Protein backbone atom coordinates (compact mmCIF):
# COMPACT_ATOMS: atom_id res chain seq x y z
CA UNK A 1 0.00 0.00 0.00
CA UNK A 2 2.20 2.87 -1.18
CA UNK A 3 -0.51 5.37 -0.19
CA UNK A 4 -1.33 3.69 3.06
CA UNK A 5 -4.90 3.14 1.83
CA UNK A 6 -6.12 -0.23 3.07
CA UNK A 7 -6.55 -2.84 0.35
CA UNK A 8 -10.18 -3.28 -0.68
CA UNK A 9 -11.36 -6.79 0.19
CA UNK A 10 -14.52 -8.76 -0.50
CA UNK A 11 -16.60 -10.78 1.94
CA UNK A 12 -16.39 -13.52 -0.68
CA UNK A 13 -13.24 -15.48 -0.01
CA UNK A 14 -10.77 -14.94 -2.85
CA UNK A 15 -7.75 -17.25 -3.05
CA UNK A 16 -4.45 -15.33 -3.08
CA UNK A 17 -3.60 -16.39 -6.65
CA UNK A 18 -7.12 -15.85 -8.03
CA UNK A 19 -7.50 -13.90 -11.27
CA UNK A 20 -10.70 -12.37 -9.95
CA UNK A 21 -10.31 -10.33 -6.75
CA UNK A 22 -12.59 -7.37 -6.05
CA UNK A 23 -10.09 -5.16 -7.93
CA UNK A 24 -10.86 -6.95 -11.21
CA UNK A 25 -14.63 -7.44 -11.62
CA UNK A 26 -14.67 -8.47 -15.29
CA UNK A 27 -17.93 -8.88 -17.20
CA UNK A 28 -19.23 -12.04 -18.87
CA UNK A 29 -22.39 -14.02 -19.56
CA UNK A 30 -23.14 -17.39 -17.97
CA UNK A 31 -25.93 -19.88 -17.56
CA UNK A 32 -26.50 -22.24 -14.69
CA UNK A 33 -25.84 -25.87 -15.54
CA UNK A 34 -28.52 -28.43 -14.91
CA UNK A 35 -31.83 -29.72 -16.17
CA UNK A 36 -33.09 -27.41 -17.51
CA UNK A 37 -30.19 -25.06 -18.13
CA UNK A 38 -30.66 -21.55 -16.85
CA UNK A 39 -31.11 -18.58 -19.19
CA UNK A 40 -28.06 -16.52 -20.26
CA UNK A 41 -27.26 -13.92 -17.58
CA UNK A 42 -24.72 -11.06 -17.47
CA UNK A 43 -22.29 -11.62 -14.61
CA UNK A 44 -19.12 -10.55 -12.92
CA UNK A 45 -16.49 -12.84 -11.40
CA UNK A 46 -15.38 -12.74 -7.76
CA UNK A 47 -12.95 -15.41 -6.62
CA UNK A 48 -14.48 -18.76 -7.52
CA UNK A 49 -17.98 -17.36 -7.92
CA UNK A 50 -19.98 -15.72 -10.68
CA UNK A 51 -22.29 -12.93 -9.55
CA UNK A 52 -25.58 -12.86 -11.49
CA UNK A 53 -26.13 -9.24 -12.53
CA UNK A 54 -29.75 -9.77 -13.57
CA UNK A 55 -30.42 -10.91 -9.99
CA UNK A 56 -28.42 -7.99 -8.57
CA UNK A 57 -30.40 -5.63 -10.78
CA UNK A 58 -33.74 -7.24 -9.88
CA UNK A 59 -32.87 -6.76 -6.19
CA UNK A 60 -32.54 -3.02 -6.85
CA UNK A 61 -28.85 -2.90 -5.96
CA UNK A 62 -27.85 -0.99 -9.10
CA UNK A 63 -29.17 2.22 -7.58
CA UNK A 64 -27.05 4.80 -9.46
CA UNK A 65 -28.57 7.32 -11.88
CA UNK A 66 -27.52 5.55 -15.08
CA UNK A 67 -28.32 1.95 -14.23
CA UNK A 68 -31.22 1.97 -11.79
CA UNK A 69 -33.82 1.97 -14.57
CA UNK A 70 -31.74 0.32 -17.28
CA UNK A 71 -32.67 -3.09 -18.68
CA UNK A 72 -29.01 -3.65 -19.68
CA UNK A 73 -28.48 -6.56 -17.28
CA UNK A 74 -31.70 -8.25 -18.34
CA UNK A 75 -30.24 -9.11 -21.74
CA UNK A 76 -28.65 -12.27 -23.12
CA UNK A 77 -25.45 -10.41 -24.09
CA UNK A 78 -23.49 -7.42 -22.84
CA UNK A 79 -24.00 -5.36 -26.01
CA UNK A 80 -26.56 -2.98 -24.49
CA UNK A 81 -24.37 -2.38 -21.44
CA UNK A 82 -21.34 -1.81 -23.70
CA UNK A 83 -23.28 0.77 -25.69
CA UNK A 84 -23.95 2.84 -22.56
CA UNK A 85 -20.36 4.01 -22.31
CA UNK A 86 -17.80 4.57 -19.60
CA UNK A 87 -19.93 6.57 -17.12
CA UNK A 88 -22.31 3.59 -16.87
CA UNK A 89 -19.37 1.16 -16.72
CA UNK A 90 -17.86 3.14 -13.85
CA UNK A 91 -21.18 3.24 -12.05
CA UNK A 92 -21.54 -0.54 -12.40
CA UNK A 93 -18.00 -1.09 -11.13
CA UNK A 94 -18.51 1.20 -8.15
CA UNK A 95 -21.78 -0.53 -7.23
CA UNK A 96 -20.23 -3.97 -7.52
CA UNK A 97 -17.14 -3.03 -5.51
CA UNK A 98 -19.43 -1.65 -2.81
CA UNK A 99 -21.88 -4.56 -2.54
CA UNK A 100 -19.07 -7.14 -2.65
CA UNK A 101 -16.83 -5.40 -0.13
CA UNK A 102 -16.17 -6.90 3.29
CA UNK A 103 -17.71 -3.88 5.05
CA UNK A 104 -21.03 -3.81 3.23
CA UNK A 105 -23.86 -5.89 4.73
CA UNK A 106 -26.48 -5.66 1.93
CA UNK A 107 -25.37 -8.84 0.20
CA UNK A 108 -22.98 -10.22 2.84
CA UNK A 109 -25.69 -10.55 5.49
CA UNK A 110 -28.63 -11.54 3.27
CA UNK A 111 -28.33 -15.28 2.79
CA UNK A 112 -31.31 -15.65 0.47
CA UNK A 113 -30.07 -12.89 -1.80
CA UNK A 114 -26.52 -14.27 -1.73
CA UNK A 115 -27.78 -17.72 -2.74
CA UNK A 116 -29.73 -16.16 -5.56
CA UNK A 117 -26.85 -14.02 -6.87
CA UNK A 118 -23.60 -15.87 -6.18
CA UNK A 119 -23.10 -19.09 -8.12
CA UNK A 120 -20.01 -21.29 -7.79
CA UNK A 121 -18.04 -21.24 -11.05
CA UNK A 122 -18.26 -25.03 -11.12
CA UNK A 123 -22.03 -24.72 -11.53
CA UNK A 124 -22.02 -22.39 -14.52
CA UNK A 125 -21.31 -22.59 -18.20
CA UNK A 126 -19.75 -19.46 -19.69
CA UNK A 127 -21.22 -18.19 -22.98
CA UNK A 128 -19.95 -15.82 -25.65
CA UNK A 129 -20.67 -12.55 -23.83
CA UNK A 130 -21.26 -10.38 -26.89
CA UNK A 131 -22.87 -10.47 -30.28
CA UNK A 132 -19.90 -9.65 -32.52
CA UNK A 133 -21.00 -7.39 -35.37
CA UNK A 134 -17.56 -7.17 -36.94
CA UNK A 135 -14.21 -8.61 -35.92
CA UNK A 136 -10.94 -7.07 -37.10
CA UNK A 137 -7.56 -8.70 -36.70
CA UNK A 138 -4.59 -6.32 -36.54
CA UNK A 139 -0.91 -7.21 -36.95
CA UNK A 140 0.66 -5.02 -34.29
CA UNK A 141 3.68 -6.92 -32.92
CA UNK A 142 6.75 -5.93 -34.90
CA UNK A 143 8.43 -9.17 -33.85
CA UNK A 144 5.58 -11.22 -35.34
CA UNK A 145 5.53 -9.08 -38.49
CA UNK A 146 9.29 -9.46 -38.90
CA UNK A 147 9.25 -13.22 -38.37
CA UNK A 148 6.29 -13.79 -40.72
CA UNK A 149 7.90 -11.62 -43.38
CA UNK A 150 11.13 -13.58 -43.07
CA UNK A 151 9.39 -16.97 -43.18
CA UNK A 152 7.07 -16.14 -46.10
CA UNK A 153 9.03 -13.64 -48.18
CA UNK A 154 12.68 -14.05 -47.24
CA UNK A 155 15.31 -12.03 -45.38
CA UNK A 156 15.43 -9.01 -47.75
CA UNK A 157 12.27 -7.12 -46.72
CA UNK A 158 10.87 -8.80 -43.64
CA UNK A 159 8.59 -5.90 -42.61
CA UNK A 160 6.58 -4.25 -45.39
CA UNK A 161 7.15 -0.45 -45.65
CA UNK A 162 3.57 0.48 -44.70
CA UNK A 163 3.88 -1.32 -41.34
CA UNK A 164 5.58 1.53 -39.47
CA UNK A 165 3.05 4.08 -40.79
CA UNK A 166 -0.26 2.45 -39.95
CA UNK A 167 -1.69 -0.43 -37.92
CA UNK A 168 -2.10 -3.07 -40.63
CA UNK A 169 -5.26 -5.14 -40.20
CA UNK A 170 -7.90 -7.17 -42.03
CA UNK A 171 -11.49 -8.16 -41.49
CA UNK A 172 -12.00 -11.51 -39.79
CA UNK A 173 -15.06 -13.76 -39.71
CA UNK A 174 -17.56 -12.76 -37.02
CA UNK A 175 -19.80 -15.85 -37.17
CA UNK A 176 -17.09 -18.23 -36.03
CA UNK A 177 -15.97 -16.30 -32.93
CA UNK A 178 -16.60 -18.82 -30.16
CA UNK A 179 -16.29 -19.07 -26.43
CA UNK A 180 -13.29 -20.68 -24.74
CA UNK A 181 -13.79 -24.39 -24.21
CA UNK A 182 -15.47 -25.07 -27.54
CA UNK A 183 -13.75 -27.89 -29.44
CA UNK A 184 -11.98 -27.08 -32.70
CA UNK A 185 -12.57 -29.44 -35.60
CA UNK A 186 -9.42 -29.62 -37.71
CA UNK A 187 -10.34 -27.74 -40.91
CA UNK A 188 -10.04 -29.17 -44.38
CA UNK A 189 -8.98 -27.13 -47.35
CA UNK A 190 -6.61 -26.64 -50.23
CA UNK A 191 -2.87 -26.58 -49.78
CA UNK A 192 -0.09 -26.29 -52.30
CA UNK A 193 3.35 -27.24 -50.99
CA UNK A 194 6.25 -25.50 -52.73
CA UNK A 195 7.50 -27.57 -55.62
CA UNK A 196 4.24 -29.47 -56.00
CA UNK A 197 2.55 -29.17 -59.39
CA UNK A 198 -1.06 -29.31 -58.18
CA UNK A 199 -2.87 -28.23 -55.05
CA UNK A 200 -4.41 -30.95 -52.88
CA UNK A 201 -7.49 -31.05 -50.69
CA UNK A 202 -7.50 -32.50 -47.20
CA UNK A 203 -7.20 -31.91 -43.47
CA UNK A 204 -4.84 -29.07 -42.59
CA UNK A 205 -1.38 -30.39 -41.83
CA UNK A 206 -0.18 -27.14 -40.31
CA UNK A 207 -2.75 -26.30 -37.67
CA UNK A 208 -1.55 -23.52 -35.36
CA UNK A 209 -2.69 -21.24 -32.55
CA UNK A 210 -2.07 -17.50 -32.36
CA UNK A 211 -1.77 -15.95 -28.90
CA UNK A 212 -3.61 -12.63 -29.14
CA UNK A 213 -5.73 -10.29 -27.11
CA UNK A 214 -8.81 -8.48 -28.37
CA UNK A 215 -10.31 -5.14 -27.41
CA UNK A 216 -14.10 -5.06 -27.11
CA UNK A 217 -15.73 -1.90 -28.47
CA UNK A 218 -18.24 0.05 -26.39
CA UNK A 219 -20.19 2.93 -27.96
CA UNK A 220 -19.83 3.01 -31.73
CA UNK A 221 -19.83 5.86 -34.21
CA UNK A 222 -22.06 6.94 -37.04
CA UNK A 223 -20.98 6.00 -40.58
CA UNK A 224 -18.88 8.85 -41.96
CA UNK A 225 -17.91 10.26 -38.53
CA UNK A 226 -14.40 9.17 -37.51
CA UNK A 227 -13.46 8.89 -33.83
CA UNK A 228 -10.66 11.25 -32.87
CA UNK A 229 -7.70 9.55 -31.24
CA UNK A 230 -8.17 11.73 -28.15
CA UNK A 231 -11.62 10.15 -27.67
CA UNK A 232 -10.68 6.61 -28.68
CA UNK A 233 -10.31 5.24 -25.14
CA UNK A 234 -13.96 6.10 -24.36
CA UNK A 235 -14.99 3.62 -27.05
CA UNK A 236 -13.07 0.66 -25.61
CA UNK A 237 -14.69 -1.38 -22.87
CA UNK A 238 -12.02 -3.94 -22.10
CA UNK A 239 -9.86 -6.83 -23.23
CA UNK A 240 -10.05 -10.59 -23.62
CA UNK A 241 -7.46 -13.25 -24.45
CA UNK A 242 -7.98 -14.64 -27.95
CA UNK A 243 -6.77 -17.62 -29.95
CA UNK A 244 -6.81 -16.93 -33.67
CA UNK A 245 -6.60 -20.57 -34.78
CA UNK A 246 -4.75 -20.70 -38.09
CA UNK A 247 -4.28 -23.37 -40.75
CA UNK A 248 -0.93 -22.32 -42.20
CA UNK A 249 -1.08 -24.52 -45.30
CA UNK A 250 -4.54 -23.26 -46.28
CA UNK A 251 -3.53 -19.68 -45.45
CA UNK A 252 -0.30 -19.77 -47.47
CA UNK A 253 -2.03 -20.95 -50.65
CA UNK A 254 -5.11 -18.73 -50.54
CA UNK A 255 -3.68 -15.48 -49.23
CA UNK A 256 -2.40 -13.72 -52.38
CA UNK A 257 -3.65 -11.15 -53.22
CA UNK A 258 -6.58 -10.54 -50.85
CA UNK A 259 -5.32 -11.79 -47.49
CA UNK A 260 -6.21 -14.57 -45.01
CA UNK A 261 -9.64 -16.19 -45.41
CA UNK A 262 -10.40 -19.90 -44.86
CA UNK A 263 -7.07 -20.40 -43.11
CA UNK A 264 -8.61 -18.43 -40.22
CA UNK A 265 -12.41 -18.45 -40.51
CA UNK A 266 -13.05 -21.93 -39.07
CA UNK A 267 -12.84 -20.70 -35.44
CA UNK A 268 -11.57 -17.89 -33.23
CA UNK A 269 -11.78 -18.51 -29.48
CA UNK A 270 -12.10 -15.84 -26.79
CA UNK A 271 -11.81 -15.99 -23.01
CA UNK A 272 -15.17 -15.57 -21.27
CA UNK A 273 -14.48 -12.60 -18.97
CA UNK A 274 -13.96 -9.12 -20.41
CA UNK A 275 -11.50 -7.30 -18.16
CA UNK A 276 -12.25 -3.57 -18.18
CA UNK A 277 -9.69 -0.87 -18.93
CA UNK A 278 -10.62 0.54 -15.51
CA UNK A 279 -9.40 -2.63 -13.83
CA UNK A 280 -6.25 -2.63 -15.96
CA UNK A 281 -5.34 0.99 -15.16
CA UNK A 282 -2.82 0.07 -12.40
CA UNK A 283 -0.94 -1.99 -15.00
CA UNK A 284 -0.65 0.73 -17.65
CA UNK A 285 2.86 1.18 -19.04
CA UNK A 286 4.52 3.19 -21.77
CA UNK A 287 4.02 1.75 -25.25
CA UNK A 288 7.07 1.26 -27.50
CA UNK A 289 8.49 4.50 -28.89
CA UNK A 290 7.35 5.00 -32.48
CA UNK A 291 9.86 5.86 -35.16
CA UNK A 292 8.97 7.41 -37.62
CA UNK A 293 6.53 9.63 -35.76
CA UNK A 294 2.94 8.68 -36.61
CA UNK A 295 0.82 10.97 -38.79
CA UNK A 296 -1.20 13.47 -36.70
CA UNK A 297 -4.41 11.41 -36.75
CA UNK A 298 -2.48 8.58 -35.04
CA UNK A 299 -0.40 10.72 -32.65
CA UNK A 300 -1.53 10.35 -29.05
CA UNK A 301 -0.57 12.15 -25.85
CA UNK A 302 -1.22 9.14 -23.70
CA UNK A 303 0.64 6.43 -25.62
CA UNK A 304 0.16 3.45 -23.33
CA UNK A 305 -0.09 -0.30 -23.28
CA UNK A 306 -0.79 -2.56 -20.33
CA UNK A 307 1.71 -4.90 -18.72
CA UNK A 308 -0.13 -8.18 -19.16
CA UNK A 309 2.05 -11.32 -19.00
CA UNK A 310 0.64 -13.96 -21.34
CA UNK A 311 1.31 -17.67 -21.70
CA UNK A 312 0.44 -20.45 -24.12
CA UNK A 313 0.32 -24.04 -22.92
CA UNK A 314 -0.28 -27.28 -24.83
CA UNK A 315 -1.71 -30.42 -23.29
CA UNK A 316 -1.37 -33.45 -25.58
CA UNK A 317 -4.18 -35.97 -25.23
CA UNK A 318 -1.97 -38.73 -23.83
CA UNK A 319 -0.34 -36.48 -21.19
CA UNK A 320 -1.86 -35.52 -17.87
CA UNK A 321 -0.13 -32.15 -17.67
CA UNK A 322 0.03 -29.16 -19.97
CA UNK A 323 3.43 -27.70 -20.88
CA UNK A 324 4.15 -24.04 -21.41
CA UNK A 325 5.33 -23.29 -24.95
CA UNK A 326 5.64 -19.51 -24.83
CA UNK A 327 5.62 -16.55 -22.44
CA UNK A 328 5.03 -13.11 -23.86
CA UNK A 329 3.33 -9.83 -22.96
CA UNK A 330 0.66 -7.48 -24.29
CA UNK A 331 3.06 -4.56 -23.72
CA UNK A 332 5.14 -5.47 -26.80
CA UNK A 333 2.39 -4.15 -29.08
CA UNK A 334 3.71 -1.34 -31.29
CA UNK A 335 0.35 0.20 -32.26
CA UNK A 336 -1.93 0.72 -29.26
CA UNK A 337 -5.62 -0.19 -29.22
CA UNK A 338 -6.50 3.52 -29.29
CA UNK A 339 -4.38 3.96 -32.42
CA UNK A 340 -6.07 0.92 -33.95
CA UNK A 341 -9.47 2.45 -33.25
CA UNK A 342 -8.60 5.89 -34.61
CA UNK A 343 -7.16 4.29 -37.75
CA UNK A 344 -10.13 1.95 -38.21
CA UNK A 345 -12.62 4.82 -38.24
CA UNK A 346 -10.59 7.54 -40.00
CA UNK A 347 -12.16 6.61 -43.35
CA UNK A 348 -15.64 6.92 -41.83
CA UNK A 349 -16.09 3.21 -41.07
CA UNK A 350 -18.68 2.75 -38.35
CA UNK A 351 -18.15 0.66 -35.22
CA UNK A 352 -20.88 -0.94 -33.13
CA UNK A 353 -20.92 -2.06 -29.49
CA UNK A 354 -19.42 -5.55 -29.27
CA UNK A 355 -17.07 -5.20 -32.22
CA UNK A 356 -13.73 -6.88 -31.62
CA UNK A 357 -10.24 -5.59 -32.44
CA UNK A 358 -7.62 -8.30 -32.10
CA UNK A 359 -4.00 -7.34 -31.61
CA UNK A 360 -2.43 -9.87 -33.95
CA UNK A 361 -0.06 -12.46 -32.61
CA UNK A 362 1.70 -10.99 -29.59
CA UNK A 363 5.24 -12.21 -30.15
CA UNK A 364 7.94 -10.63 -28.02
CA UNK A 365 11.61 -10.05 -28.85
CA UNK A 366 12.99 -13.24 -27.25
CA UNK A 367 13.03 -16.73 -28.81
CA UNK A 368 10.87 -18.03 -25.92
CA UNK A 369 8.30 -15.26 -26.36
CA UNK A 370 6.98 -16.13 -29.84
CA UNK A 371 3.19 -16.23 -30.08
CA UNK A 372 2.52 -19.08 -32.52
CA UNK A 373 4.02 -22.38 -33.68
CA UNK A 374 4.76 -20.93 -37.12
CA UNK A 375 7.37 -18.76 -35.44
CA UNK A 376 8.38 -21.15 -32.65
CA UNK A 377 9.12 -24.01 -35.08
CA UNK A 378 10.04 -21.70 -37.96
CA UNK A 379 7.25 -23.08 -40.17
CA UNK A 380 7.90 -26.65 -39.08
CA UNK A 381 11.63 -26.60 -39.78
CA UNK A 382 12.40 -27.51 -36.18
CA UNK A 383 10.59 -29.43 -33.50
CA UNK A 384 9.79 -28.42 -29.94
CA UNK A 385 9.23 -30.55 -26.87
CA UNK A 386 5.81 -30.56 -25.30
CA UNK A 387 6.23 -32.63 -22.16
CA UNK A 388 7.47 -35.96 -23.49
CA UNK A 389 6.10 -35.39 -27.01
CA UNK A 390 7.41 -33.31 -29.86
CA UNK A 391 5.46 -30.94 -32.05
CA UNK A 392 5.87 -28.94 -35.25
CA UNK A 393 2.17 -28.05 -35.45
CA UNK A 394 -0.91 -29.07 -33.44
CA UNK A 395 -2.03 -32.70 -33.40
CA UNK A 396 -5.49 -34.13 -32.87
CA UNK A 397 -6.29 -34.27 -29.17
CA UNK A 398 -4.02 -31.35 -28.29
CA UNK A 399 -5.61 -28.80 -26.00
CA UNK A 400 -4.24 -25.26 -26.24
CA UNK A 401 -4.57 -23.14 -23.12
CA UNK A 402 -3.88 -19.40 -23.32
CA UNK A 403 -3.84 -17.28 -20.21
CA UNK A 404 -3.00 -13.77 -19.12
CA UNK A 405 -2.64 -12.26 -15.67
CA UNK A 406 -1.39 -8.90 -14.40
CA UNK A 407 0.50 -9.51 -11.17
CA UNK A 408 0.22 -6.66 -8.70
CA UNK A 409 1.92 -6.31 -5.34
CA UNK A 410 -1.25 -7.16 -3.50
CA UNK A 411 -3.55 -8.74 -6.05
CA UNK A 412 -3.82 -10.06 -9.62
CA UNK A 413 -6.03 -8.82 -12.39
CA UNK A 414 -6.37 -11.88 -14.59
CA UNK A 415 -8.20 -13.09 -17.65
CA UNK A 416 -8.74 -16.73 -16.74
CA UNK A 417 -8.06 -19.02 -19.67
CA UNK A 418 -8.91 -19.32 -23.34
CA UNK A 419 -8.89 -23.00 -24.26
CA UNK A 420 -9.73 -25.27 -27.17
CA UNK A 421 -9.08 -28.89 -28.03
CA UNK A 422 -8.37 -30.16 -31.54
CA UNK A 423 -10.77 -32.81 -32.82
CA UNK A 424 -9.98 -34.89 -35.94
CA UNK A 425 -11.19 -33.46 -39.24
CA UNK A 426 -14.31 -34.73 -40.96
CA UNK A 427 -13.66 -37.85 -43.05
- For 87, phi and psi rounded to 5 degrees? -55, -40
Is 328 among the annotated ligand-binding positions?
no
Which secondary structure element, helix H or strand E, spans residue 145, and what is its range? helix 142-153
Residue 2 contact, options Mg ion, a second copy, Ni ion, none, Cβ 5-8 Å cut-off depending on partner type:
Ni ion
- Chain contacts with Mg ion (rule: CB under 5 A): 244, 264, 268
Task: Kindly provide the residue ranges of all beta strands, DSSP E only, lying in 113-206, ordered along the sequence.
Answer: 118-120, 124-127, 135-138, 169-172, 177-179, 184-185, 188-191, 200-203
Is 359 among the annotated ligand-binding positions?
no
Residue 268 contact, options Ni ion, Mg ion, Ca ion, none, Cβ 5-8 Å cut-off depending on partner type:
Mg ion
- How many other β-carbons are positioned within 10 Å of the β-carbon of residue 18? 18
Residue 64 contact, options a second copy, Ca ion, Mg ion, none, Cβ 5-8 Å cut-off depending on partner type:
none
* 375 makes contact with Ca ion (CB under 5 A): no
Which of 413, 307, 419, 417 shows the shortest CA–CA distance to 14? Answer: 413
Question: CA 245 from chain center: how many Å?
Answer: 13
- For strand 211-217 and strand 412-423, is the pairing parallel, antiparallel, or unpaired? unpaired
Which of 347, 84, 337 shows the shortest CA–CA distance to 229? Answer: 337
Query: Of the two residues 96 and 374, which places its CB atom closer to a second copy in the complex?
Result: 374
Task: Using CB under 8 A, pick the residue from 193, 199, 365, 424 that binds a second copy.
Answer: 199
Task: Using CB under 5 A, pick the residue from 52, 244, 311, 355 that binds Ca ion.
Answer: 244
Task: Using CB under 8 A, pick the residue from 52, 134, 208, 300 that binds a second copy.
Answer: 134
Task: Using CB under 5 A, pick the residue from 1, 256, 258, 426 that binds Ni ion.
Answer: 1
Catalytic positions are: 144
Query: Of the two residues 244 and 249, which places its CB atom closer to Mg ion in the complex?
Result: 244
Distance CA 177, CA 405 (A): 22
Stretch that binds Ca ion, among 52-60, 133-141, 248-256, 308-316 (CB under 5 A): 133-141
Distance CA 340, CA 209 (A): 22
**C-alpha distances in Å from residue 21, one per residue of 5, 8, 9, 138, 424:** 17, 9, 8, 31, 38
Stretch that binds Ni ion, among 1-9, 25-33, 279-287, 340-348 (CB under 5 A): 1-9
Which secondary structure element, helix H or strand E, spans residue 386, and what is its range? strand 384-386
**DSSP codes joined into one string, 90-139:** HHHHHHHHHHHBTT-HHHHT-HHHHHHHEEEGGGEEEE--S--S-EEEE-
Query: Which residues, in sequence order, are CB contacts of 114 under 8 Å at separation 6+?
Result: 107, 108
* 300 makes contact with Ca ion (CB under 5 A): no
Query: Of the two residues 36 and 292, which places its CB atom closer to a second copy in the complex?
Result: 292
Is 361 among the annotated ligand-binding positions?
yes
User: Pattern of binders to a second copy over 279-308, x per CB under 8 A?
Assistant: -------------x--xxx-----------
Q: Which residues pair with 178 in a beta bridge?
A: 269
Residue 189 contact, options Ni ion, Mg ion, a second copy, none, Cβ 5-8 Å cut-off depending on partner type:
a second copy
Residue 53 contact, options Ni ion, Mg ion, a second copy, none, Cβ 5-8 Å cut-off depending on partner type:
none
Task: Using CB under 5 A, pick the residue from 91, 208, 210, 300 that binds Ca ion.
Answer: 210
Distance CA 113, CA 121 (A): 17
Is 268 among the annotated ligand-binding positions?
yes
Query: Of the two residues 1 and 258, which places its CB atom closer to Ni ion in the complex?
Result: 1
Distance CA 331, CA 58 (A): 39
Residue 85 contact, options Ca ion, a second copy, Mg ion, none, Cβ 5-8 Å cut-off depending on partner type:
none
Is 264 among the annotated ligand-binding positions?
yes
Extract the annotated binding site for Mg(2+).
244, 264, 268
Task: Show binding-site residues.
Answer: 137, 139, 153, 210, 212, 244, 251, 264, 268, 361
Binding site for Ni ion (CB under 5 A): 1-2
Amino acid sequence: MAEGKPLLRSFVEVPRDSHFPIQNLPFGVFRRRGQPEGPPRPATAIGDFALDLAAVSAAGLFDGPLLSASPCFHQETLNMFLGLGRPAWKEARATLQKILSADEPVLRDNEALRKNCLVPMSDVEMLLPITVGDYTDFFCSVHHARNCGFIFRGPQTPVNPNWFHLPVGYHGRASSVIISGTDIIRPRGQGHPTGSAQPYFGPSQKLDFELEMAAIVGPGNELGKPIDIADAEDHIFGLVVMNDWSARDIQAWETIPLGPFLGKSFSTSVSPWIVTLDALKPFACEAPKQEPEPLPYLAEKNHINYDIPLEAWIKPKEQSEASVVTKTNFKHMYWTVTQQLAHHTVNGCNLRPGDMFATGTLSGPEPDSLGCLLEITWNGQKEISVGNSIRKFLQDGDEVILTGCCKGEDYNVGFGTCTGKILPSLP
